[in-house]
Each structure stands twice: as structure tokens, then as C-alpha cells.
Amino acid sequence: MRRMWPDEFRFIFDEAEEVTLDSPATEREDGSAGEAIHRKALKVRLTQEDYERIWPFAEARHRLQGKFSGKAVTLIVNNPHYGQWHPADGGTVESVSESGRPYSTKYVVVYFLLDDVSETVGA
């Protein structure tokens, strides 16, 4: 199924940083060897509010358009293989509204697995 990332949330990737997720192989509880992780990803800092709005897209693969056209992303939320890249505190920014009232904006740092999308061509 080809799911496209919703246009209303495309802005999330405007400031995305391309990173590589690296983790050495670990031993599983049963004693067998796990696999090392080497995956391309996008690191994004977004407001807590925006994070809550994209939560329904977690762990599902979505194709991108625009700057990352030809790529697909999967928001890492609770996949045990990517535990160290689960959503994390991205800090708080204190501001003052136009009326002079102070407020704070909470941020979250999230990672999206980044894959190339290959199209099949009919013969």
C-alpha cells in the first residue's frame, strides 16, 4: 500500500537533519547474537503539540514529496530495536505573547527511518 505523508504535516521535514542510526550488535536474552543497526534516518525537533498530531502515523511507512521526493519515512515510536531513538525531550522555549503573558512551548526530538522508494516498471 502506498501511503503518502499528509500535506498538512509536510512542514515537519523542512528543518530535518539526515543522520545515520548506528548501534553495535548485541546479545539477545536467549544468548543468540542480535544484528547491528546501520540505518539512514531523519532527526526532527517539533513541538509537543505537532508530535501529538502525527502520533497516528507512528510505525507506518509513508512516502514523501518535495525535498525528500523518492524517499519513504517511518516514525520510530516504540519499536524495541530502535529504543535509543524513541521520542525524547527536546527542551522548552519560554516566550511572551503579544499581550505580555508568558508561555512555554515544549519540544520533542523524534526520528524517522528513511528509505529509498523504488518504483516497479511494467515490461
Distance (Å) of CA 113 to CA 38, 46, 101: 11, 16, 39
Most confident of 21-30, 69-78, 110-119: 69-78
User: Which residues make Cβ contacts (< 8 Å) with residue 94, sequence separation at least 6?
Assistant: 102, 103, 104
- In DSSP notation, 64-105 reads --GGGTTEEEEE-SS-GGGGGGS-EEEEEEEEE-TTS-EEEE
CA distance 6 to 66: 12
3-state SS class at 32: coil
Structure confidence at residue 122 (pLDDT): 54
Structure confidence at residue 1 (pLDDT): 60
The answer to whether 72 and 118 have CB atoms below 8 angstroms apart is no
Summarize pLDDT for 30-73 with one digit per residue, the tens. 777 667 778 999 999 999 999 999 999 998 999 998 889 899 99
Give the closest residue to 75 by CA, choosing from 89, 90, 61. 61
- Across all residues in the chain, what is the average pLDDT? 88
CA distance 100 to 41: 39
